[in-house]
Amino acid sequence: MADPRGFLDERERELPPRRPVPLRLMDFKEIYEPQDPKQLHRQASRCMDCGIPFCHQGCPLGNIIPEWNDLTYRGDMRGASERLHATNNFPEFTGRLCPAPCESSCVLGISQPAVTIKRIEQSIADEAAANGWLEAHPPQRLTGRTVAVVGSGPAGLAAAQQLTRAGHTVAVFERDDRIGGLMRYGIPDFKMEREVLDRRLAQMREEGTRFRPGVEIGRDIPWHDLRRRYDAVVIATGAPVGRELEVPGRELEGVHQAMPYLVQSNRAVAGDEVPEQIRADGKHVIVIGGGDTGSDCIGTAHRQGAASVTNIAIGRRPPEFRTPHEPWPMTPRVFEVQTSHEEGGERLFEASTIEFVGDDSGRVVELRLADTDFLPDGRRVPKAGTERSLPADLVLLSMGFTGPERETLDAQLGIEFTARGAIARGEDYATGTDGVFAAGDAGRGASLIVWAIAEGRAAAAAVDEYLLGRTSLPSPIPATAAAISL
């Protein structure tokens, strides 16, 4: 602990500046500016290096947070980067995108605002990139074993990097034309610019990981053929199936699942031609559902010049602060104001959709809704007598995801699924099919990048052990422990 009085002298929690709203709505560039080194030093000094650092448990990766806070305070950014990379393959992703459950369990948070762990993490990662410290770590010798990783999101990439560095020959198959999973075509650039991802992919290529974009396993190559060709297979295909809203008018033009809308916008931002792109310009936009996907739709619609953006949620508005039911160090469910919410629009809670109303040409023009009635049996239905309408030219459904696509996995590989729709697997991430493992959203249901990286790392250790009978790769979490958290 570099400064024993740091948390007493620096009581204020300071985040790096965000670009002003009118300016950032003019482009898709990142919202946060780099952190001023003096501010970074002040913020790192607030870490108390607690006897029992609960932030370790809060972080699914088990990041050794007090150590890199201390190194940052001392100005040893290279040392901080090495500590950070010891437990996290991609801190530049989590430093930008993680909801930071570590900060909910920060001990300082009991009496003061928590340490700004996430943004310190980003500063360390960005400093490492700027100074060329992200050298490739190719293996010293090859094992002669081959692994196919299917899916190039954070889970697949983390598994691939660990296994490549362990000496296995790893190919990552991705059905999209570019590598990155939801970090490429789901999450907008204003949360993470793509050069951050490309930089890491360059490192992985140099280490020897082979990328095969534009190949859909199950269609271009059957799953059983892939299994025959490789000594082990990791399924990291995510949980892309969006939850539906079955109300009258769902078929109208202008009512879309959120993902096609976001994917098309991300493609356009990347410079691709997107014929008949779903756009929000001049439209009254309604986003149904919250979470990251909902707020990403809000931010995208504002940048496209929407006339209005309304976000409706069927549930109650979460409390402002932690309630006694979610005591420290739990991650509480509180009212969140994400950067997209700062940019405008209205948020309605306890709002239940009744139907979409169209015009003669079959386009949506109105959304009928009512207050939510919470029935004793747990159902949530529209409350009679409170019906009203909102103008709607574009409706985006963002009500979560039901799980991975199952058809070809089931038919070609005999993969089994849990009652909740995720791939069934054991403690060691192994499915019931010999040599086939599952990591990330495909195995735990739609979740977070930090969990995907943690699972990718742990699954890699399990695969290494399967192939060699032993492993020296770190295994942060067993699959069942991962499944019960967040």
Ligand X SMILES: Cc1cc2nc3c(=O)[nH]c(=O)nc-3n(C[C@H](O)[C@H](O)[C@H](O)COP(=O)(O)OP(=O)(O)OC[C@H]3O[C@@H](n4cnc5c(N)ncnc54)[C@H](O)[C@@H]3O)c2cc1C
Interface map 172-191 toward ligand X (x if CB under 6 A): -xxxx----xx---xx---x
Can you list the alpha helix ranges (DSSP code H) found in 208-290? 223-229, 258-269
Do 404 and 423 meet the contact criterion of CB atoms below 8 Å apart?
A: yes
Q: Does 262 bind ligand X (CB under 6 A)?
A: yes
* Smallest distance from ligand SF4 to CB 63, Å: 4
* Smallest distance from ligand SF4 to CB 174, Å: 24
- Residues between 375 and 394 with contacts to ligand X, criterion CB under 6 A: none
* Smallest distance from ligand X to CB 322, Å: 21
Residue 374 identity: F
- Helix 117-130 vs helix 77-87: crossing angle, to nearest 10: 110
Residue 259's contacts (CB-CB under 8 Å, 6 or more residues apart) are 186, 240, 242, 293
Which residue lies nearer to ligand SF4 by CB, 67 or 231? 67
Calculate the dihedral angle through the C-alpha atoms of 218, 221, 225, 226, rounding to the nearest 10 degrees. Answer: -90
Interface map 66-105 toward ligand X (x if CB under 6 A): -------------------------------xx-------
* Smallest distance from ligand SF4 to CB 400, Å: 21
Q: Does 467 bind ligand SF4 (CB under 6 A)?
A: no
What CA–CA distance (Å, rounded) separates 255 from 356?
A: 8
What CA–CA distance (Å, rounded) separates 415 from 423?
A: 7
Q: Does 458 bind ligand SF4 (CB under 6 A)?
A: no
Q: Which of 6, 290, 299, 440 binds ligand X (CB under 6 A)?
A: 440
Residue whose entry in the numeric block shows the structure tokens 């951050």? 196
Q: Which of 128, 204, 446, 450 binds ligand SF4 (CB under 6 A)?
A: 450
Q: Which is it for the CA torsion 336, 22, 296, 199, positive or negative?
A: negative
What CA–CA distance (Å, rounded) separates 266 from 270?
A: 6
| Token pair in block for residue 121 | 């993490």
Calculate the dihedral angle through the C-alpha atoms of 203, 206, 210, 213, rounding to the nearest 10 degrees. Answer: 50
**273 vs 25, 266, 268, 296, CA distance in Å?**
21, 11, 6, 21
Which of ligand X, ligand SF4, none is residue 294 near (CB under 5 to 8 Å by kind)? none
| Token pair in block for residue 42 | 């002040």
Q: Which of 3, 393, 441, 464 binds ligand X (CB under 6 A)?
A: 441
The residue count for binding ligand X (CB under 6 A) is: 36
Piece of 6-14, 122-130, 289-297, 363-371 that binds ligand X (CB under 6 A) = 289-297
Q: Is 132 helix (H, G, I), strand (E, B) or coil?
A: coil
Interface map 323-362 toward ligand SF4 (x if CB under 6 A): ----------------------------------------
Q: Does 59 bind ligand SF4 (CB under 6 A)?
A: yes
Piece of 53-61, 171-179, 224-232, 274-282 that binds ligand X (CB under 6 A) = 171-179
Which of ligand SF4, ligand X, none is residue 440 near (CB under 5 to 8 Å by kind)? ligand X
Which residue lies nearer to ligand SF4 by CB, 13 or 205? 13
Do 310 and 348 meet the contact criterion of CB atoms below 8 Å apart?
A: yes
Q: Which of 65, 286, 306, 438 binds ligand SF4 (CB under 6 A)?
A: 65
- Number of DSSP helices (H) and strands (E) in the chain, helices first: 20, 16
DSSP letters along 421-441, please? SSBP--TTSB-SSTTEEE-TH
DSSP label of 376 = T
Displacement of CA 38 from its chain's centroid (Å) = 30
* Smallest distance from ligand SF4 to CB 391, Å: 39
List residues binding ligand SF4 (CB under 6 A): 58-59, 61, 63, 65, 94, 98, 100-102, 117-118, 121, 450
Residues found near ligand X in the complex (CB under 6 A): 97-98, 150-156, 173-176, 181-182, 186-187, 191, 216-218, 236-238, 262, 292-293, 296, 440-442, 447-450, 452
